[in-house]
Amino acid sequence: MILLDTSILIELFRSSDKEKTSFFKLISTEKDFAISIITHYEIFTGSNEKQDSFWKDFLNTVDVLDFDIQASEEAVKIYKYLKKTTKMIDLADILIAATSISNNIPLATLNLNHFQRIKELKIIQK
């Protein structure tokens, strides 16, 4: 299983040639995907009514992982580390990374600049 970051989904949505997206590269080697509930929130707060049906259909094909106590504990560790090292990133990215780490699944993202700052995170690049 692979956790998809919001950036992967936005690229898929915006691309006129879906087969050239990172998501389509990922499905050549993996069949099970999930998103964090944080990604679910980001997608729907950034979409309009016309886009909502696309997202609802797509998100029916992936698991949505909750932000639970284990993810919260990971997020606290990540936040404190990034603050201490003055490498802070967006809170949503911290929560998504924590979901990935607490579920022990790699994260696929296009936002390497932020996520590479989290040493425990397994990142997939396509």
Residues 68-95 have pLDDT tens digits of 999 999 999 999 999 999 999 999 999 9
- State whether residue 84 is helix, strand or coil: helix
As a whole number of angstroms, the distance between CA 11 and CA 77 comes to 29
Query: What DSSP character marks residue 25?
Result: H
For residues 42 and 61, the answer to whether their CB atoms sit within 8 Å is: no
Domains of the chain and any CATH numbers: 2-124 (3.40.50.1010)
Of the listed ranges 18-22, 35-39, 87-91, 105-109, the least confidently predicted one is: 18-22
Indicate if the pLDDT at residue 1 is higher than 70. yes
Average pLDDT over all residues of the chain: 95
The H or E element containing residue 46 is none
Query: What DSSP character marks residue 10?
Result: H
The per-residue pLDDT for range 4-17, each reduced to its tens digit, is 999 999 999 999 99
Confidence of residue 50 (pLDDT cuts 50, 70, 90): confident
Indicate if the pLDDT at residue 24 is higher than 80. yes
